[in-house]
Structure 1
Amino acid sequence: MGSDVSKGRGSLFSKADRKAAESGDRAERVETTADGECSAKKIPFRIAGTGARAAQYRTIDHHKEEFEVKGMCDFFGVSRAGYYAWVKRLGKADPDQERMKQVQVIYETSHKTYGYRRITIQLQRKQGLRINHKAVLRLMHKLGIRSVARKPSPYRKVEDLGTYHRYPNVLDRDFVASRPNQKWVTDITYIRLEQGWAFLSIIKDLYDDFIVGHILHDRNSIALVIQTLQQAKQNEKVTDGLVLHSDQGTQYTSQAYHVLTAQYNITPSMSRRANCWDNAPAENFFSHLKEEYLRHFPFPTFEQARQLTTEYIHFYNYERIQLKTRQTPYETRCLSL
């Protein structure tokens, strides 16, 4: 057996055997990923390569009494010099030991609130140590410590939620409608209050720019858009084929919104990601509201904001003349009946 190993890749460690072993390693990595661990491709090559090389050296050292070192080095594709250098390092103390102690002391003194940046500053100022922040971060990883001042975010991407719905861009910037209640657009805007914020949800008919529904609330929630759609349905006769366009906000990707639009036989349409121009008519209305009216009443209370938005929407629908039609939205709407 030993003579076979000494031949390198000739017999026991042939190219076919090595390829089979590498294929097996890749399969194991895929299985590990499927089990929920970090994908290997997300590990930096420098770190992953160092860890794999150390594992190869440990395997060679473990079987050095059974097989020749040269043959095993050839099989793993590593140099004998590298292996023997690794062996020499085994008997030496960890060169990071002293600095790790210093990092640990500062970390404990800060009540575990310091991250690598503050620890780096403390090492440089208090102990006169010349060290890079990346080195401190590496030492903290070795110690298994991190700042408790910032916890990992509990929020997940909406794609990870089971109730997430995404719709195609059916409207596709075709903002012209041939009749009322054929194409609607909807959106939410923020209104700064004396204390906090208010959230205005509206639905606008693209035929005549008439605001068919609007709700002001102190929370930007799914209920806000649901109530707006319910109000619009009560105010208007909705027939099959109505397209309701929105952005990709979580309210519009929710299960409740999905169920309600299906119940009303409404076809949801959705803007492309981070593309406000796909919902330009809704944005245009909010611009008129804030520029023509709300900016004259800075920091209102919630009740004042409710009154102001109601007054302006009534003015916008029934009194404000549109230059493109020379009529109010209500007049244009009446002429279509």
Structure 2
Amino acid sequence: MSKIIFNEHQQRVLEANPNVASVSDRAIQYTPAFKIHAVKEYQTGKSPSQIFSESGFDLTVIGSKKATSSLNRWRTTFRTYGEEGFFEERRGKGSTGRPSTNDLSAEKKLEKAEARIKYLEAENELPKKARGAREAGEETQLTPAEKFEAINAMVRKFQLTNLVGTLCRTAGVSRSGYYAWLKKTEQHAIREEQDYRDYLLLKSIYDAHRGKIGYRNFYMILVELLETPMNHKKILRLMRKFNLFAKIRRANPYKQLAKATQEHAVCPNLLNREFEQDEPGKVFVTDITYLPNRSGQMAYLSAVKDVATREIVAYEVTTTLTMEIVYRTLKKLKEALDGNVHPEAMIHSDQGFHYTHPEYQQRVKEMRLKQSMSRRGNCLDNAPIESFFGHFKDDVDFKQATSLAELKGLVDDYMEHYNGARKQWNLKKMTPVQYRGHLIAA
């Protein structure tokens, strides 16, 4: 028995091929004329796949192995019995059997009897087929859908296309109801096939991003790939259906937040989680994260993010946690602003000792920036920069860097990608750089 199962739509497509005599959910019965044609074409040097493809068969549906095995079987029959061997039913006969000697007129006489036998077999098997839909011993009445399914199986098995009405009366259902169910089943099969094709596209994108992609990023990528973009609700449905779950970060319950020292001054929380900003350069957030790597020396990344545009405007990578890391970051921020400081500009951080240091606070004032700090032990007050560090550690394989130079190269490449190429759903599907231009124009 073939492992390939044909859905309703595929069966309909196969039945439309003139080289097919009948189709079930697992088997295809080919016409004798096609079998003879296939053998002769093979003798001219054509491959089984080529023969089937030229005859209108989709090898992705029937399988290339199925084409090869079928042709091998037909070649054996052709060598043993010739063309006449394809016009006789040989199932169950030994290899030494001979084709029937009945003449054509005799076969004609048997046609009505054979048709009657098929009908009686189908009528007898219909209740059995329906009972198979229930567990053994259950007396529950069959639903109309189960009866329709049994009728459809009988019609396909015995080719009783002209006896649908009789089978429906036997099963106690309406003929119109059967055809309505059949149409709905075909539509469902077509949708299932389309879903699978869309899933293959999503799976290729999913694998390329190592599973670290959600439905919103899927949508933004497909907008560029497809002429007619896929609706984000459909993407979410397909992800759930085919188990494409985005790999997300999990909070480390054992990680302790650094506490600000008592000697340094703590600033009030001026930002107060007002992360919805629409003016570039008005609110910046900053922090430092650890970057363990294979060089044998811990590295650290200090970054400043514009809350309105989500752009990383300044960053620094070092191997020490001295004050120099934040001083260099401030210097790069000053160069990026180039004197264009917003009158209400603010830089927000946690209460780490770098940001409570008197020298750091003095430099912030000299840049005409107000200073704001999160409440102690509350990382959500600085959520935008924490979110960026999370995405960075998901997307960059920094742990494999063998030197500081290699690590800096990885950071530089990601910053360029994040600011200029990585679109974000909440930025109207733009990159941070594009969104900054959009806000300025607005």
TM-score for both structures, normalised by structure 1: 0.51
The structural deviation recorded for 1:265 is: 1.3
> Which position in structure 2 is the counterpart of 1:232?
333
Residues in 2 aligned to 1:233 and 1:179: alpha-carbon distance in whole angstroms: 18
Name which one, 1 or 2, has greater alpha-carbon Rg.
2
Quick check: 1:217 aligned with 2:318? yes
> Which position in structure 2 is the counterpart of 1:182?
282
Q: Residue 298 of structure 2 aligns to which amino acid in structure 1?
A: W
> Which position in structure 1 is the counterpart of 2:387?
284
User: Could you give the per-residue CA deviations for residues 157-192 of structure 1, whole angstroms, max 9, x where no partner exists?
Assistant: 821x3xx12100111111011210111000000000
CA contact (8 A) 2:419 2:431 kept: yes
Residues in 1 aligned to 2:327 and 2:260: alpha-carbon distance in whole angstroms: 22
Which one of the candidate residues 143, 165, 172 is aligned to 2:265?
165
Partner of 1:241: helix, strand, or coil? coil
Which one of the candidate residues 410, 417, 423 is aligned to 1:308?
410
CA contact (8 A) 1:187 1:203 kept: yes
Q: Residue 309 of structure 1 aligns to which amino acid in structure 2?
A: V
> Which position in structure 2 is the counterpart of 1:202?
303
Q: Residue 357 of structure 2 aligns to which amino acid in structure 1?
A: S
User: Could you give the per-residue CA deviations for residues 56-91 of structure 1, whole angstroms, max 9, x where no partner exists?
Assistant: xxxxxxxxxxxxxxxxxxxxxxxxxxxxxxxxxxxx
After the TM superposition, which residues 94-133 of structure 1 pair with which residues of structure 2 at under 5 Å, given as runs?
none
CA contact (8 A) 2:260 2:352 kept: no
CA contact (8 A) 2:278 2:439 kept: no
Partner of 1:158: helix, strand, or coil? coil
Q: Residue 184 of structure 1 aligns to which amino acid in structure 2?
A: F
Residues in 2 aligned to 1:190 and 1:300: alpha-carbon distance in whole angstroms: 16
> Which position in structure 1 is the counterpart of 2:363?
260
User: Could you give the per-residue CA deviations for residues 192-219 of structure 1, whole angstroms, max 9, x where no partner exists?
Assistant: 0221210100000011100010000111
Q: Residue 172 of structure 1 aligns to which amino acid in structure 2?
A: N
Identity, in percent, stands at: 32
The structural deviation recorded for 1:255 is: 1.2
Partner of 1:268: helix, strand, or coil? strand
Partner of 2:356: helix, strand, or coil? coil
CA contact (8 A) 1:198 1:218 kept: yes
> Which position in structure 1 is the counterpart of 2:374?
271
Runs of 4+ in structure 1 deviating by more than 6 angstroms, as ranges, are: none
The structural deviation recorded for 1:267 is: 0.7
Quick check: 1:248 aligned with 2:351? yes
> Which position in structure 2 is the counterpart of 1:69?
none
> Which position in structure 2 is the counterpart of 1:322?
424
Residues in 1 aligned to 2:387 and 2:400: alpha-carbon distance in whole angstroms: 20
The structural deviation recorded for 1:289 is: 0.6
Structure 2 unmatched runs, 5+: 1-258
Partner of 2:316: helix, strand, or coil? strand
Superposed CA RMSD in Å reads: 1.6
CA contact (8 A) 1:226 1:256 kept: no
Residues in 1 aligned to 2:285 and 2:402: alpha-carbon distance in whole angstroms: 27
> Which position in structure 1 is the counterpart of 2:123?
none
CA contact (8 A) 2:260 2:353 kept: no
CA contact (8 A) 2:305 2:385 kept: yes
Partner of 1:326: helix, strand, or coil? coil
The structural deviation recorded for 1:299 is: 4.5
Residues in 2 aligned to 1:300 and 1:319: alpha-carbon distance in whole angstroms: 27
CA contact (8 A) 2:260 2:356 kept: no
Partner of 2:400: helix, strand, or coil? coil
User: Could you give the per-residue CA deviations for residues 112-142 of structure 1, whole angstroms, max 9, x where no partner exists?
Assistant: xxxxxxxxxxxxxxxxxxxxxxxxxxxxxxx
Q: Which structure is higher in RCO with an 8 Å CA cutoff and minimum separation 6?
A: 1
CA contact (8 A) 2:316 2:329 kept: yes
The structural deviation recorded for 1:245 is: 0.5
After the TM superposition, which residues 5-16 of structure 1 pair with which residues of structure 2 at under 5 Å, given as runs?
none
